[in-house]
Amino acid sequence: MNRSDILPSTVAWPTCALGAWAAAWLTGRCSPDDVIEALAESADRHEVPTEQPTTPTGSGNGVLDLLGLLKPARRLAVRLPSTGDPQGLPPNPATSRALTAGEVLLVDDSDTAGTLALVPEFSTLGVDPPYVTCRWTTFRYADRLDLDHLVSSGPSAGDLEYDLRQAVRDAASIIGGLGGRRSVDAGDLREELAALTARHRVALPPHALDARSTRLIDTAAQVEAIVDLAGTRRVEIGDTAGQWDSGDSALRGLQTLTRTARAAAVNSTIGELLRR
């Protein structure tokens, strides 16, 4: 089960929350409890499968086990790949799983071993209310990835902010079609968009000082909420098959942009925290 299948009340992108808050924890700017609280927004429990015959601590809803994995980290980077946009990740089982999940946290934790990759997968138990578990599968790339190059090779934050401003206007033009050919209550539409926007918004540690990163994340959340709702309601953009294809392509382009902007903002925050 990937992030799009879990409850709309949970917060998406746990790799972003884990990367940013773990960076704050690694540099002594927050406590493990702060990380636990941040990740609780995404799932009731986090699990780290291990081949070692040891028993997980079970404390902190599994988050302490995650922090134990990240303690040797010297560099962290988030990638949010999608079909056709691997975001610089090389062919590897880790990349294949990351493409399925739509996200991965990369960890440089050794001079001799390849880059560690953590990929989340969700499951639910029960229905009233469901209990959400996030299972973090670990992989090792054969070589150490150049995380600095991965992060810096994309568009600049300034370019992304400009592109997102344009994307807001493009996404706004989609809102009129969210009801399809039937009447939709404007209040219901606003509530759905507000809930989806909150779901895509990543709460950065208060120690992060870059206001642009927060703006990028907030704007990306607004745009992706509209894209999600358009996809859920199967909005037909235009009156002909050619226009519909063009509309689908536009939605995919907006989604790629929001992923790129969100990853850039989180990685900027991680880098800022680890440098200080």
For the chain, the structural domain boundaries read: 3-153, 157-263
How much is the pTM?
Answer: 0.87
Residue 110: CB atoms within 10 A of its CB come to 14
Residue 59: CB atoms within 10 A of its CB come to 11
The reported pLDDT for the residue numbered 50 is 66
Residue 212: CB atoms within 10 A of its CB come to 14
**Inter-residue contact 56 to 67 (CB < 8 Å):** no
The reported pLDDT for the residue numbered 269 is 95
- pLDDT block averages, 10 residues each, the chain of length 276: 54 95 96 95 89 50 92 96 92 96 96 95 82 94 95 91 89 64 63 90 84 93 88 54 52 90 95 89
The reported pLDDT for the residue numbered 142 is 95
Q: H-helix or E-strand containing 246? A: helix 241-275
Helix ranges (DSSP H) in 153-240: 157-175, 186-200, 211-232
Pairwise CA distance, residues 99 & 119, whole Å: 10
The reported pLDDT for the residue numbered 59 is 55
State how far the alpha carbon of 240 is from the alpha carbons of 35, 63, 65, 166, 245, in Å. 49, 50, 53, 25, 9
The reported pLDDT for the residue numbered 191 is 87
